[in-house]
Amino acid sequence: MSISIPSEEPPFDLNGWRSRIPLCRKLVMMHNCSQTPQCDYTRMAAERYLESWNTAGMDWDAWTDEVAAARHEFARLINADPDEVAVSTSVSEATGSLVSGLPQDGRRKIVTTGAEFPGVAHTLVAHTRYGLELSWVPLQPDGTIRLEDYDDVIDDDTLLVSATHAFYQSGYVQDIAAIAAKAHAHGAMVYVDAYQTAGVVPIDVKAMGIDFLATGNLKWLFGIPGVAFIYVKRDLTERLHPALTGWFGRTDAFAFNPRLLDWHPTAQRLETGTWPVAAAYVARAGLQIIRQVGVGNIRSWTQRLSAQLIEGGRARGLRLYGTDDVERKTPVCAFVCPGDSHRAETLMKKADVMVSARGSVIRLAPHFYNTPEEVEIALDRLADVYASPELAASTPRP
Ligand SMILES: Cc1ncc(COP(=O)(O)O)c(C=O)c1O
């Protein structure tokens, strides 16, 4: 396939944003699928929390408002209402709360895919102890999932289809609206892990027919570890009774009645313990950055950079894992590593280029603040590292 790379400028102030991300002066950062860098705005948010803690000692009124504002901002990103969003601490935890709370109405089957992130898949596997059965849609050798393969496994016994929006390794984006339609035709619900898409691929839970969706914030959303969000479609809230719960999932967290297990009337029933307040400050600021730049603008600019990565990788003899169709992928471009990918990541870092190793590949994952010049630098360094004797002496990961 030949790829045309549009040369136009991005529809936002690229240099202005770069000046607000101090690390841009030192490093080429292509590891945004693992961790986005610090921006002056997210740093200020973290400092606001530290200041509040230092001056007020404890200010739960302000902290509660901040968590509510982060919930609101996340809801906006995915076209949900704030009361359809629960605050969690990781996607693994959010998945545990959801799956432990699924209705026990006779259906026992969960359909998932070979592309799920292990933290999600392991949670599903763990629940087979409690009577759920798992069916897998296979991952294809080229890092994609075939839509028609869902037809072989979704049936009238299916309770939930758990489909990652994008495969973390290849960046392959699944057609969630089509998967949801297949699930709903059999009366099953759909759960989407959007960690690899939120912020860089448009998400509209209503238009896509999504029932549940979770993401954390440290990857594309300019946040830090410790906070995650899970969306629950309003009509489904009352069907969930999570066993992975805590006092923040109660109607009144401050009722302090250990024998009363009631359920918050909104998605908040999926919450567990004390909110991750400090991380929520940063999450809100990171989400605001994404809103200011605009997901549509981010999508078009990163598709332009991905096309350049694919073309440039091919010209340098690097082998792409996954599709080369930028419409079907996140900004992630994964190149098969001839040696130990972790070693390659370290060698790249020594050469001032941040990349992200996963299994047998190195992922180059540009965000809106990256430039075409940085793409060329990253590709040149990767080609050098892949050809280096140091890497040749190491063993490739499976
Ligand atoms: C698609 C996807 N889901 C989930 C996770 C991990 O989520 P958490 O650590 O919040 O459980 C990752 C992290 O790499 C990921 O890429």
pLDDT value at position 397?
87
Q: Is 228 in the pocket of ligand 1 (CB under 6 A)?
A: yes
Q: Is 90 in the pocket of ligand 1 (CB under 6 A)?
A: yes
Q: Is 213 in the pocket of ligand 1 (CB under 6 A)?
A: no
What average pLDDT does the structure give for the chain? 96
| Secondary structure (3-state) at 215 | strand
Amino acid (1-letter code) at residue 341: S
Residues 312 and 379 sit within 8 Å (Cβ to Cβ): yes
Compute, in angstroms, the gap from residue 96 CA to the centroid of ligand 1: 13
Q: How many helices (H) and strands (E) does the chain have?
A: 13, 13
Confidence of residue 5 (pLDDT cuts 50, 70, 90): low
Which ligand 1 atom sits nearest the alpha carbon of residue 228? 10
Q: Is 119 in the pocket of ligand 1 (CB under 6 A)?
A: yes
Among protein residues, the one with the nearest Cα to ligand 1's atom 7 is 91
Q: Is 196 in the pocket of ligand 1 (CB under 6 A)?
A: yes
Spell out the residues 6+ positions from residue 55 whose beta carbon is closer than 8 angstroms to its own. Answer: none
β-strand pairing of 109-113 with 133-137: parallel
Q: Is 30 in the pocket of ligand 1 (CB under 6 A)?
A: no
pLDDT value at position 1?
43
Residues 319 and 334 sit within 8 Å (Cβ to Cβ): no
Judging by beta carbons within 10 Å of its beta carbon (0-12, 13-18, 19+), is residue 1 exposed, middle or buried? exposed
Q: Is 168 in the pocket of ligand 1 (CB under 6 A)?
A: yes
Compute, in angstroms, the gap from residue 117 CA to the centroid of ligand 1: 6
Judging by beta carbons within 10 Å of its beta carbon (0-12, 13-18, 19+), is residue 254 exposed, middle or buried? exposed
Q: Which of 117, 123, 170, 212 to mutate to test ligand 1, by most ligand atoms within 8 A of the CB atom?
A: 117
Q: Is 216 in the pocket of ligand 1 (CB under 6 A)?
A: yes
Integer angstrom CA distances of residue 304 from 3, 21, 53, 262, 393: 10, 21, 43, 50, 35
Which ligand 1 atom sits nearest the alpha carbon of residue 119? 11
Residue 51 pLDDT > 80: yes
236 alpha-carbon distance from chain centroid: 23
pLDDT value at position 398?
86
Residues 305 and 326 sit within 8 Å (Cβ to Cβ): no
For residue range 110-130, list pLDDT tens digits in order.
999 999 999 999 999 999 999
pLDDT value at position 105?
86
The average pLDDT across 262-278 equals: 98
Which ligand 1 atom sits nearest the alpha carbon of residue 164? 1
Structure tokens at 191: 């759960």
For residue range 209-224, list pLDDT tens digits in order.
999 999 999 999 999 9
Which ligand 1 atom sits nearest the alpha carbon of residue 196? 1
Compute, in angstroms, the gap from residue 34 CA to the centroid of ligand 1: 9
Q: Is 300 in the pocket of ligand 1 (CB under 6 A)?
A: no
Confidence of residue 6 (pLDDT cuts 50, 70, 90): low
Which ligand 1 atom sits nearest the alpha carbon of residue 165? 1
Report the alpha-carbon angle 21-25-28, nearest 5: 90
pLDDT value at position 2?
44
DSSP letters spanning 73-111? HHHHHHT--GGGEEEES-HHHHHHHHHHT---SS--EEE
Q: Is 164 in the pocket of ligand 1 (CB under 6 A)?
A: yes
Q: How many CB atoms lie within 10 A of CB 3?
A: 14
382 alpha-carbon distance from chain centroid: 25
Q: What percentage of residues in the chain have a pLDDT greater than 90?
A: 96
For residue range 162-201, list pLDDT tens digits in order.
999 999 999 999 999 999 999 999 999 999 999 999 999 9
pLDDT value at position 8?
73
Q: Which domains does the chain have, with CATH numbers?
A: 14-30+294-392 (3.90.1150.10), 43-291 (3.40.640.10)
Spell out the residues 6+ positions from residue 63 whose beta carbon is closer than 8 angstroms to its own. Answer: 52, 275, 277
Between CA 237 and CA 233 the distance in angstroms is: 7
Q: How many CB atoms lie within 10 A of CB 47?
A: 12
The average pLDDT across 245-261 equals: 96
For residue range 279-315, list pLDDT tens digits in order.
999 999 999 999 999 999 999 999 999 999 999 999 9
Among protein residues, the one with the nearest Cα to ligand 1's atom 9 is 90
| Secondary structure (3-state) at 336 | strand
β-strand pairing of 109-113 with 320-321: unpaired
Facing residues of 86 across strands?
230
Among the residues of 316-368, which ranges form H helices?
341-350
Compute, in angstroms, the gap from residue 354 CA to the centroid of ligand 1: 19
Q: Which of 196, 203, 221, 229 to mutate to test ligand 1, by most ligand atoms within 8 A of the CB atom?
A: 196
Q: Is 92 in the pocket of ligand 1 (CB under 6 A)?
A: yes
Q: Is 163 in the pocket of ligand 1 (CB under 6 A)?
A: no
